[in-house]
A and B are shown apart, each in its own frame.
Chain A
Amino acid sequence: MRRRILGALVGLFLAASVPADDQKFITLASTTSTEHSGLFEFIVPIFQAQTGISVRVVAVGTGQALAIGCNGDADAVLVHAPAAEQQFVADGCGIDRRAVMFNDFVVVGPKDDPAGVLGADTVAEGFERIAQAKAPFASRGDDSGTHKKELLLWADVGIKPTGAWYRELGAGMGAALNTAAAMQAYTLADRATWLSFSNRQGLSIVFQGDQALHNPYSSILVNPNRHPVKVDLARVWHDWLVSEAGQTAISQYQLNGHQLFTPN
């Protein structure tokens, strides 16, 4: 009896532990903004219907996404940090970088706007006002595309953000927005995540529309000479993104009546 129960258990666990999957798929390392905004949920089924290939998305910060790609653990990446992307290709980690789509960053802050960012003409001026007022600012601090952008913006105005008002969180965009809402702090967010974020409390957009807040996304294939990645299937996805079908799908994705990404 005991033996039979044990035998049944062994069978059950062996059968359950690794689900069979002989479907064609690629692994894509991408950013939290593209995943959390629901873009992949919308375009991946369209891509799959047209090509029969499914896309497994690992959504992390751009820094980690590029690391996963460089280790050969994804077949392609879709990220947003131009300088880091160029480095990724220069290091031989990826090939064939292509511009796919863009949206923009927004400066988010408490509605009563203690630093007076609402009156600023440029994002640089807005950042200067936050620093001067020493108003709480929540930085991603996680080497993501948004974090890199924020550091560039501080560098542009010649301010080295330090002090109790500047809070490095080391968190993803959503977690950073949750924290900023709780602290009533300013933060830099990509528009897609902001629009899909539901726990805003007292936060609203305090600055938007500067050319400096442009946020381009690129698709890069992981270098097949380095790791045995599925380059052929990944290339189908890579080509589809910039094809008419792919670009149309991206432009059709809307959330609450807002288009989140503009195809290139």
Chain B
Amino acid sequence: MGDAFAGAAWLVLAGDAVLLGIVQLSLQVSLSAVFFASLLALPVGAAIALYHFPGRGAVIVLLNALMGLPPVVAGLLVYLMLSRAGPLGSLGLLFTPAAMVVVQALLIFPIVAALTRQMVSDLWDEYHEQLTSLGTSRLRAIPTLLWDGRFSLVTTLLAGFGRATAEVGAVLIVGGNIAGVTRVMTTSIALETSKGNLELALALGAILMTLTLLINAMAFGVGELAKRRYE
């Protein structure tokens, strides 16, 4: 057991090109997915919090429920869309990193939108008298409240990022786990497990956990620094 860990640690320290490529692709895909999903999910979540429209309750319930969208179902849906036999087949995106970004963004969107909605809702309850007395429209209030809640939003984005890096079912279906092209950390771990290389698989898992820990620590550190500056 110790040997495999030492071996995997050595691969990282020695800058093994294949392993570093896999780590890099994992981070690129998941960070891109968080970025694109949030671009849409932050304003949508805030808008649902501030505007009242028919069916709003149903939309909130749906968003909350979709936080539990099984990755394998998301993978299957995106596969059917991107397959040459499907509606978007001509784009040729299946079995590319772009397809993996799409499916992870689909998984992240409801999480970021639902948590943002809740946060903005709470802030609006607190500040809406103040904001309306200043003549701020609901539309203008969206960026204001998002900016005001930015420290909580970091946690929301980390939840989305965690969802993306942790899942294997969706990227396996739309990425195909192609060596050097769409192989990421989780699909490598699944592959090594099925080869019976359990120690190597566990060691890769430890690397993934360490990376996640580092990213969370960085986000925490940046948040603390920023808070201090604004207080």
Chain A contacts to B: CB under 8 angstroms? 9-10, 13, 16-19, 21, 27, 32, 36, 41, 56-60, 70-73, 172-175, 177-178, 196-200, 227-229
Contacts and interface: CB of A to CB of B under 8 A. Distances in A.
Contact of B32 (A13, A70, A71): A13
A16 B28 contact: yes
Given A17-B98, A174-B193, 20 more contacts: A10-B35, A13-B32, A16-B28, A16-B31, A17-B28, A17-B36, A17-B101, A21-B181, A27-B95, A27-B176, A70-B85, A72-B83, A73-B84, A73-B85, A177-B196, A178-B193, A178-B198, A197-B196, A198-B196, A199-B196
A57 B194 contact: no
B107 interface: no
B178 A57 contact: yes
6 contacts: A27-B176, A27-B178, A73-B83, A197-B196, A200-B196, A228-B90
A71 B173 CA distance: 14
Contact of B198 (A19, A60, A199, A228): A199
A70 B176 CA distance: 16
B141 to A, nearest CB: 18
Contact of B178 (A36, A56, A199): A56
Counting from the closest, the 8 A-B pairs by CB-CB distance are A174-B194, A199-B196, A72-B84, A58-B176, A17-B32, A71-B85, A198-B196, A16-B28
A178 B35 contact: no
Interface of B: 28-29, 31-32, 35-36, 83-86, 89-90, 94-98, 101, 176-179, 181, 191, 193-198
Contacts of B97: 17-19
A103 B112 CA distance: 51
Given A58-B177, A58-B178, A18 B196 contact: no
Contact of B35 (A13, A70, A196, A198): A13
Given A56-B181, A57-B179, A58-B178, A9 B194 contact: no
B84 A175 contact: no
A41 B28 CA distance: 25
Most buried by B among A71, A173, A227: A71
B95 A172 contact: no
B194 A36 contact: yes
B196 to A, nearest CB: 3
Nearest to A60: B176
B181 A36 contact: no
Contacts of B194: 32, 36, 172-175, 178
Given A197-B196, A198-B195, A228 B181 contact: no
B30 to A, nearest CB: 11
Contacts of B96: 18
Contact of A13 (B31, B89, B177, B196): B31
Contacts of B84: 71-73, 227-229
B114 to A, nearest CB: 23
Contacts of A13: 31-32, 35-36
B197 A73 contact: no
B203 to A, nearest CB: 14
Nearest to B175: A58
B42 to A, nearest CB: 12
Given A72-B85, A228-B84, A56 B193 contact: no
A174 B194 CA distance: 4
Contacts of A27: 95, 176, 178
B89 A9 contact: no
Contacts of B176: 27, 56, 58, 60
A37 to B, nearest CB: 9
Most buried by B among A73, A173, A196: A73
Nearest to A199: B196
A14 B195 CA distance: 35
Nearest to B33: A17
Contact of B179 (A10, A41, A172, A177): A41
A57 B178 CA distance: 6
A71 B83 contact: yes
